[in-house]
Amino acid sequence: MRSKRQRKTDAIQLRTRATRTIKRHAINRTVNRQSSGAILAELKHRLSEIYDLTAAGSVLTWDEATYMPKGGAVARGRQSSLLRRLAHERFVDPALGRLIDRLEPGTGKLPADDASLIRIVRRDYERAIRVPAEYVARENAHGSASYNAWIWARPANDFAAMIPFLEKTLDLRREYASFFAPYDHIADPMIDDADEGMTTATIQRLFAELRRELIPMVRAICDQPPADDGCLRRSFSEEAQLGFGLSVAKQMGYDLERGRLDRTRHPFCTKFAAGDVRITTRVRENHIGDALFSTLHEAGHAMYEQGVNAAYEGTPLGSGVSLGVHESQSRLWENVVARSRPFWEHYYPALQRTFANQLGSVPVDIFYRAINKVEPSLIRTDADEVTYNLHIMLRFELELKLLEGRLRVKDLPEAWRAGMQAYLGVTPPNDRDGCLQDVHWYFGSIGGGFKSYTIGFQSYAIGNVLSAQFFAAAVKAHPDVSSEIASGQFGTLHGWLTDNIYRHGRTLTPNEIVTRATGSPMTMAPYLAYLRRKYSELYQLPQS
């Protein structure tokens, strides 16, 4: 038994120890809280610089496509790649990784947006550091060389010239996949780059379902008398086309105080800041559909970016969540809205006033049928809503076979022709309008580009499917959406998209966005229902 004195001493020691422990905990908490805040601030500061370097690079790219005189090309290439390199170096800096590691344990105590930020930065960082800098340099150099060869080879119909480039591209893409091993399928890492959570297997199931429906649908349509789209192919003032398209985009909700439209060879959307999201379009004097639908397509991308919560500006949270969801927004506005009958019931009189000589005597029904004409054709970018998906499926299948080594590059033209015949019943007379037509593969991208640099073909199809799923959910929540469109009102639809998709940026995963907004993960039913309803009516098909 201990003496009284001894016990007193023990008690004092215990008390002292307890006090020390409490103090230490208090200090630790303070330190943790302070340093969490400080670490987060440091992380956000670094991310903001990376964002700004990337945005500056995008300004250079936009200028290159819009206004740069051709003498500027060499220096511009050097300047753009310097900015890309500086941004990349800052992002893969191990110091950034240490900041993420130090924040991880405290995540539970952070506001939800900060926790999302850390999740996204960790994902992006861990993917980025798996890819060695020297690989990035090799891939960029090869991508440019291959693109420059394709610029000549496509018009010359010279696929043979592209064989060595495409073989090297495939080797590089396989090497890229190896950084993310193990995987179920060699294309999975590329697909996951573009659309987090998607796999080769997901896409294959999606396409199998789509194929079952579309091939008979296209056949049935082809059995009907073709639509006449001659009214689209008259001579339309280019300025008037641009003005009309932009005014519609503005009414849809594209904010021109924070955006603008310019002309380029290929349409695109680019973002320099929440307050500066620009679109471009091409214009063909002898086809009124080209500029109009391109403008509305790009405006759909732009409205998404303009609608992201401004608080995420300067961080990786401040952009669209995936390429597929992004594409769903361009397709929703371009196709589901702007190729619909209610839309043209409102806008056609204005279009007729703008082009009185060309369209004054063309009834709205003829125009509506013309802009929705279904016709198997050779070129993906000219394809209608229905056959478009078949172009995508062909490309996706060929990509998988090439990556797996089941198809040799030299046999690609023949496989392309066979695929076109099987899917669309047409055969390209040459490779120029066959397997040489799209830039994607020849820019070094197969299955989706490195760091989402270029879109993978599958994302276009995901976008089509989701466009209908989102629209159906919006109509379910607000049954007035269709009648509002018929009176040129888009506020309810734009508001629903903003609340359910746009404002979240990347705080949720793509699957969370889809599920919360529509009540289920990505599903084919709404898209198939949309196509069946629309095209059965247009082509008097039997309702299945």
Point out which residues bind a second copy (CB under 8 A). 48-49, 52-53, 55-57, 59-60, 63, 67-76, 78-79, 82-83, 86, 255-260, 262, 272-276, 278, 313
CA distance 291 to 282: 6
Q: Looking at beta carbons only, is 312 or 457 nearer to a second copy?
A: 312
Q: Looking at beta carbons only, is 223 or 257 nearer to a second copy?
A: 257
Q: Taking the complex as a whole, how short is the minimal distance between the CB of residue 485 and a second copy, in angstroms?
A: 27
CA distance 20 to 18: 5
Q: Taking the complex as a whole, how short is the minimal distance between the CB of residue 86 and a second copy, in angstroms?
A: 7
Q: Taking the complex as a whole, how short is the minimal distance between the CB of residue 75 and a second copy, in angstroms?
A: 3
Angle at alpha carbon of residue 539, lines to 533 and 541, rounded to 5°: 65
Q: Looking at beta carbons only, is 67 or 179 nearer to a second copy?
A: 67
Angle at alpha carbon of residue 407, lines to 457 and 375, rounded to 5°: 45
Q: Taking the complex as a whole, how short is the minimal distance between the CB of residue 49 and a second copy, in angstroms?
A: 6
Q: Looking at beta carbons only, is 76 or 532 nearer to a second copy?
A: 76
Q: What are phi and psi of 32, to 5 degrees?
A: -60, -45
Q: Looking at beta carbons only, is 53 or 446 nearer to a second copy?
A: 53
CA distance 169 to 503: 37
For 489: left if phi > 0, alpha if psi spans -120 to 50, otherwise beta; the answer is beta
Helix, strand, or coil here: 271?
Answer: strand
Q: Taking the complex as a whole, how short is the minimal distance between the CB of residue 359 and a second copy, in angstroms?
A: 28
CA distance 373 to 364: 14
Helix, strand, or coil here: 517?
Answer: helix
Q: Looking at beta carbons only, is 273 or 364 nearer to a second copy?
A: 273
Q: Looking at beta carbons only, is 79 or 204 nearer to a second copy?
A: 79
Q: Taking the complex as a whole, how short is the minimal distance between the CB of residue 255 and a second copy, in angstroms?
A: 7
Contact 43, 103 (CB under 8 A): yes
Q: Looking at beta carbons only, is 160 or 256 nearer to a second copy?
A: 256
Q: Taking the complex as a whole, how short is the minimal distance between the CB of residue 241 and a second copy, in angstroms?
A: 19
Q: Looking at beta carbons only, is 47 or 170 nearer to a second copy?
A: 47
Cis peptide before 216 (omega within 30 of 0): no
Q: Taking the complex as a whole, how short is the minimal distance between the CB of residue 489 and a second copy, in angstroms?
A: 24
Q: Which residues are catalytic?
A: 298
Residue 269's DSSP bridge partners are 279
Tokens of 53: 């370097």
Q: Taking the complex as a whole, how short is the minimal distance between the CB of residue 73 and a second copy, in angstroms?
A: 7
- Sheet hosting strand 261-263, strand order edge to edge: 261-263, 276-281, 269-273
Contact 510, 195 (CB under 8 A): yes
Helix, strand, or coil here: 2?
Answer: coil
CA distance 272 to 275: 8
DSSP 131-189: S-HHHHHHHHHHHHHHHHHHHHHTTTT-HHHHHHHHHHHHHHHHHHHHTT-S-SSTTHH
Q: At residue 238, what is the residue type?
A: E
User: What does DSSP say about strands 261-263 and 276-281: parallel, antiparallel, or unpaired?
Assistant: parallel
Is the Cα torsion angle 263, 264, 266, 271 positive or negative in sign?
Answer: negative
Q: In terms of Cα–Cα distance, which of 368, 390, 380 is closest to 289?
A: 368
Q: In terms of Cα–Cα distance, which of 352, 379, 380, 378 is closest to 231?
A: 352
Residue 271's DSSP bridge partners are 277
